[in-house]
Structure 1
Amino acid sequence: MNSPFAISFMRLSELNMLIRNKLSDAFKNNTFWIVAELSNVNYYSAKNYYFFDLVEKEEGNQLIVAKISASAFGSGSQRIQSFEQVTGQKISGNIQVLIQVSVDYHVVYGLKLLVKDIDPSFTLGNLERQRQHTLLRLLKEYPDSIQLINGEYITPNKRLKLPRVIQKIAILSSENAAGYTDFVNSLMINNFGYQFYLYPYFTTVQGENNTTLLVDRMKDVIQSEDQYDILVIIRGGGSQSDLLLFDQYEIASAIAFFPIPIITGIGHHKDISIADLMANKSTNTPTKVAEMIIEHNHIFE
């Protein structure tokens, strides 16, 4: 048997340097615009670095067909921050982007892509396309229940009449949200001495991955032995990506068919979510929701 020391070999570092040199020659000074979805986004503010995965999923399902690590620093980080200012949203998982990258290989950390630029107009257009797709899906799947009439979406929830006096209020909100505190204070400390009975159902009210949590809490409201006059869904302000939760089909349909009138106040000033369009009434902040309820009761007098 031949001695293993007679076999020609190289050190791992030598192989990795060979890979690096080959890739450097192949991709030297080249950049590429690619479409991919963000995943596992991490930001390190101390050094202004971003680390995330870029993934491609098979159309029609969630099967990942391609994945690679990426990072941004220096001008790349500046381009991401410019993107966030233009789009009004922080980069986060499940957002599809058109991003310019170069190929980098490190002998210790392996293969990754370096961010050079990111196109905000692509993401804004894609989000609007997804939004319109959801609205059309709701109209198509429930033609007898959800209708678009003179520019307004008419839903079963919107057809419900508010009680003449609102007193028992179920609340979907984050427990620690400033918006929840604003709502409670504005409602309970009113100029007319009106009394209200509040029943909070705390949950996460941001991030599109929390759709199931919010829908489940809505089911808890329905299954409660208490009979509520209305359900309010409130949250404080936030980035555009935080509001993506309220453009999700499952939440929109749950609101549209909810058996108790819903008033939304989810902390936006410029954009109307699909949840707003499906609800009985909507306004832009939790404080405005409280004012709407007080005014409703005052009119009854």
Structure 2
Amino acid sequence: MEALTLYQLNRRIAELVTNSSTQNVWVTAELSDVAVRGGHCYMELLQKDPDTGATVAKARAAIWANVFSRLRSDFYIATGQDFATGLKVMVRASVSMHPVYGMSLVINAVNPEYTMGDLLRRRKEMLARLKAEGILDMNRSLCWNEPPLRIAIVSAEGAAGYGDFMNQLNGNQLGLRFTTRLFPAIMQGERTAQSV
């Protein structure tokens, strides 16, 4: 019985999966395990069952450094978000099969309008839920004799929203000095509730 080497098998797989039907195709997915290393962005793309939340498809993906800096900047300008776990995205990707590292998707474009639509939908759902629970306007009904000068913040340390909040706090028009304490948390994805 003659056997293939693993390298030979992986080369055959690469020949089968890397063709015109798997190159530069638009794919919708949820981001997971996003990590930036050496200027490259690595992640997993997930598809979940909308009823159960169970993962039904998963693929490793990467955005190489020569593309990532531009995509990241354009995406942030359009959405106000960085690439992060839990975001729903539409990406243009090509299948890549490496004999050592296996199959992955190489992303070369992102459609920020798709993510914006999902973010707006989630915001509307959250506001409707808060209103239905009667807590949307609770803070407006509170009367403060003195402003709270000690503030606990639950946020991801590198989050743009956290930085914006601190800038607003430190540059307030009244010149108030606040004492803050950050409680680091994951703000998007499956581990959000446990982290917060």
Q: Aligned with 1:135: secondary structure?
A: helix
Q: Which residue in 2 is equivalent to 1:254?
A: none
In the alignment, is the contact (CA less than 8 A) between 1:35 and 1:97 conserved in 2? Answer: yes
Q: Which residue in 2 is equivalent to 1:81?
A: 73
Larger Rg belongs to: 1
2:31 pairs with one of 29, 38, 41:
38
2 CA distance for matches of 1:125 and 1:93?
Answer: 17
In the alignment, is the contact (CA less than 8 A) between 1:80 and 1:117 conserved in 2? Answer: no
2 CA distance for matches of 1:167 and 1:98?
Answer: 43
TM value normalised by structure 2: 0.76
Matched, 1:158 2:146: no
Identity of matched residues, %: 23
2 CA distance for matches of 1:206 and 1:53?
Answer: 17
Structure 1 ranges of 4+ moved more than 6 A: none
Q: CA deviation at 1:172?
A: 1.1
Q: Which amino acid in structure 1 is aligned with residue 30 of structure 2?
A: E
Q: Deviations over 1:16-52 (max 9, x none)?
A: 1111112234746x321111011111113x4x32211
Matched, 1:138 2:133: no
Q: Which amino acid in structure 2 is aligned with residue 38 of structure 1?
A: L
Q: Deviations over 1:165-212 (max 9, x none)?
A: x277542137x98839938xx435xxxxxxxxx886642377345555
2 CA distance for matches of 1:168 and 1:35?
Answer: 43
Q: Which amino acid in structure 2 is aligned with residue 57 of structure 1?
A: K
Q: Aligned with 2:27: secondary structure?
A: strand
1 CA distance for matches of 2:16 and 2:36?
Answer: 31
Structure in which a larger fraction of residues adopt helix: 1
In the alignment, is the contact (CA less than 8 A) between 2:186 and 2:195 conserved in 1? Answer: no
Q: CA deviation at 1:129?
A: 0.9
1:23 pairs with one of 17, 28, 33:
17
TM value normalised by structure 1: 0.52
1 CA distance for matches of 2:108 and 2:181?
Answer: 44
Matched, 1:173 2:153: yes
Q: Deviations over 1:199-243 (max 9, x none)?
A: 8664237734555555xxxxxxxxxxxxxxxxxxxxxxxxxxxxx
2 CA distance for matches of 1:156 and 1:24?
Answer: 56
Q: Which amino acid in structure 2 is aligned with residue 14 of structure 1?
A: Q
1:92 pairs with one of 70, 84, 88:
84
Q: Which amino acid in structure 2 is aligned with residue 41 of structure 1?
A: V
Structure in which a larger fraction of residues adopt strand: 2
Q: Which runs of 5+ in 1 are unaligned?
A: 1-6, 147-152, 189-197, 215-301
1:204 pairs with one of 178, 184, 191:
184
Q: CA deviation at 1:102?
A: 1.1
Q: Which runs of 5+ in 2 are unaligned?
A: none
1:109 pairs with one of 92, 96, 101:
101
Q: Aligned with 1:203: secondary structure?
A: strand
2:115 pairs with one of 123, 130, 133:
123
Q: Which residue in 1 is equivalent to 2:176?
A: 187
Question: Which one scores higher on RCO, CA 8 angstroms, separation ≥ 6?
Answer: 2
Cα RMSD over matched residues?
3.3
